[in-house]
A and B are shown apart, each in its own frame.
Chain A
Amino acid sequence: MTDIATVNAKDRGEARASSSTGLADPRRATRLVLSIFLGPGLLVYAGLTAYPAFRTIYDSFFHIEGLEATFVGFANYVELMGDETFWIAVRNTFVWSFIAPILDVATGLLLALALYAGVPFARFLRVAWFTPVLLSYVVVAILWMWIYNYDWGAVNVILRTVGLGDLASSWLGDPNLALGSLIVTHAWKWAGFNMVVCLAAIHSLPREVLEAAELDNCGWGAKLRFVIIPMLRPTLLSLYILSFIGKMKIFDLVWIMTQGGPLWATETVSTYVYKRAFNWNTFDLGYPSAIATVWFLVVCASVLILNRVLASKDRLEY
């Protein structure tokens, strides 16, 4: 007994000695050690994220021509409020951000359920459906520009083949169809990602609950509606908000496929910021900075509101 007590006392003494170096317990690390470990990361964050963000906000109060900056106060913001194109871009971006994620998540969920239900060739389909996620936006955009081509694109060729030639359209050239066509393209690209997340979530559902539902003669539809989807709610909401944030910043796909046209029907806030910064025959970065600042605040506010409205009971992670 004495021996054991002696040994324990010795162990405690060694543990105390090692913790005094500040390495065993990170919470007790010295400031020097903390700064050595945190420094590089903080430096990168400060230089590549924080500084550009604050600089953008700062620049929004200036008119910058060439190398000269003139302080203009809130003039850029006042001008922005009366900018018709900006409001068109806001409308398009909101339509895209709120509606398209529903399509994205629903498609992902359907694909995941198909795999979970064991459709034929499930292993092949899982890879095939996920592949678009790995493609760059440039490739996806070019591919879908071919698919939407009026003369020889797959969509119109199929419509003509099945006798629905009257429905053949200029999918990217018609202002009424262009935004929807881009939304479909975007959903195609990201459906695989949503599918993988949903599939993982379905596989992690408690088996006993699903078995209990089956014992109660619960059919597939009812099981889906009353058991699976309610239990997947936190996952689906996380995917929705992730998708929402991504779409609030959408740029590349639009730029390659339509450049915001026709008649600004696909203009998004990001493409408009780019146009104002680089395609406006001016070096002024003040006005584009004001748009970026406003939009940064809108995205932050939207995410907070969505968090409140959709996820009052569940903690979301994204």
Chain B
Amino acid sequence: MRRIRNVGRGFGLVALTALAIGAGMASAEAQTQITMWSNWPDEPAKKDWVSARVQEFEAANPQCQVKLSFIPKADIYTQAKSAVRTGQAPDIFYMEPDQPEFLAGGFLEPLDDYIDVNAIEPWAKPAWTAKGKLHAVPVEAYTLELYYNKDQVKKVGVEVPASFQLTQAQFADLVKKGVAAGITPVSQGVGDRPFPGGQLLFESLLRKLGKDDYGKLLSGELSFKDPRVVEVMTWVKGLVDDGAYPKSFSTLKLGESHFYFYNTPGALTFPDPSWFTGRAFAPPEKGGMPAGFPLGIMQFPAMDNGACPNCKTLAVSGSFVMYSRGKNKDCAGKLLKSMASVENGTKWVSQVSLQSGLKSDPAKIVSPHKAYFEELNARNKDVDYFFGTPLLHYRAKCAETYVQVMNNAFPAGLISVADAADKMDAACLKK
């Protein structure tokens, strides 16, 4: 009898185990794993924002599991270029609008049927719209700003006007006074980036030409030999020759140029996209801005007879796209939908201290850098935005020439105005 009972128990145990294994297998089968590549491995605030969105999504959607990797941007581009061709690309990956080939090649899934497009800022949509469909969730956006050290600028004897915009002559005077005082006027370096060296020149060109003609310049319909362009280039060349940039300009990296501005040796101004905060608001021991640093934001200088002194560049950068040949579009779409919300836009602005292509609720923004935000908003009030930096518009040989000439050689003083204009026209001007 006892043996029969033992046998019965044994059967029961086996049955229970089988049931448990079966249930486990069924749940494993029901769970879908999607892969996601994100940039920002070295920017804690942005990384935390992405991780939090993924965790929230997984908690709300137990049938979807996300394999999230943080990979440097350049590596994502290189790997994605091979992977999309062979069907091996991740379901969701980081992308910026300056890589249009992915959209043109049909590798990005239209997202209109997956996400709430009303949660995206209207100005951010064109960057990712093709054939009337939106192809990315534009998380990160920025404006080009001219940061300055209030104390040092005052110390060299320059008073920033109430408009926070110097004239062409006043800015040239600031450069001269900075050099005379032994303080580098403009902290900037192009050691590891293809764009910073062109910021001062191209923002000045935007203000001189106005949005329409500046757009033509970037689309190759206006020559760099246009008298207005030559006038601005000649002015910038004068600043360069006066010693506006650091001597180590060609090799100074972006992170180093931050440190150069607000730490050692210090500089008067620092032209930078508003993602400046990603590094500047890191703890000082990790290379961030020292506590109490007298940071100010001024407008780029107004050009003499400029068509648009209140113009400014606005751009979309870090975005997330869905692979069009992915096998888990359902889960991937749900994840992007959960990310693209006003609430998450507000969280981005609060946590990262940077603009977003997602709509946000200003009333709910809670940030330890409130004063900074107020100043940034003040500098962006009544501004007429031009969408996209030069590298967002330039392609192939024209982009490479911009990198070599306008980003590097011209601001480094290695090339004359005429030669720079010749090279840009040869590469960019539509015949």
Contact = CB atoms under 8 A, between A and B. Distances in A.
3 nearest interchain CB pairs?
A173-B250, A150-B248, A66-B105
Given A281-B101, A283-B101, A264 B404 contact: yes
Interface residues of A, number: 26
A56 to B, nearest CB: 15
Contacts of B408: 261-263
A283 B81 contact: yes
Nearest to A282: B101
Contacts of A67: 85, 105
A260 B408 CA distance: 12
Contacts of B274: none
Contact of A263 (B98, B249, B415): B415
Interface in B93-141: 98-101, 104-107
Interface string A143-157: 001001111000000
Contacts of A211: none
B396 A282 contact: yes
Interface in B376-425: 395-397, 399-400, 403-405, 408-409, 412, 414-415
A175 interface: yes
Contact of A261 (B100, B106, B396, B404): B404
Interface of A: 65-67, 85, 145, 148-151, 170, 172-175, 260-264, 275, 278-283
A297 to B, nearest CB: 24
Contacts of B106: 66
Contact of A283 (B105, B247, B399): B105
A238 to B, nearest CB: 36
Nearest to B260: A151
A149 B251 contact: yes
A281 B277 CA distance: 29
Contact of A151 (B104, B247, B397): B247
Given A66-B105, A262-B408, A262-B409, A281 B100 contact: yes
Contacts of A283: 81, 85, 101, 105
B276 interface: no
A264 B397 CA distance: 13
Interface in B144-175: none
A251 to B, nearest CB: 14
Contacts of B85: 66-67, 283
Interface size class of B (residues with CB under 8 A): 20 to 34
Contact of A148 (B251, B400, B404): B251
B153 to A, nearest CB: 22
A282 B400 CA distance: 13
B77 interface: yes
13 contacts: A65-B105, A66-B105, A67-B85, A85-B400, A149-B248, A150-B248, A261-B403, A263-B409, A278-B81, A281-B98, A281-B101, A282-B101, A283-B105
Contacts of A151: 246-248
Contacts of B397: 85
A283 B397 CA distance: 14
A150 B251 contact: yes
Which of B100, B107, B408 has the most chain A CB within a 10 Å cutoff?
B408
B404 A281 contact: no
A282 B396 CA distance: 8
B305 interface: no
Contacts of B415: 263
Contacts of A264: 404
B251 A173 contact: yes
A278 B247 CA distance: 31
Nearest to A168: B247
A128 to B, nearest CB: 27
A172 to B, nearest CB: 5
Nearest to A176: B414
Given A66-B107, A264-B404, A173 B412 contact: yes
A174 B414 contact: yes
Given A150-B247, A173-B251, A282-B396, A263 B105 contact: no
Contact of B99 (A170, A174, A281): A281
B78 interface: yes
B68 to A, nearest CB: 24
A209 B57 CA distance: 81
B365 to A, nearest CB: 36
Contact of B396 (A145, A174, A280): A280
A41 to B, nearest CB: 26
A148 B105 CA distance: 42
A282 B101 CA distance: 5
Contact of B247 (A66, A170, A260, A262): A170
A67 B324 CA distance: 13
A175 B419 CA distance: 15
Nearest to A263: B409
Contacts of A279: 400
Interface in B59-98: 77-78, 81, 85, 98
A118 to B, nearest CB: 41
A239 B249 CA distance: 38
Given A262-B250, A281-B99, A275 B404 contact: no
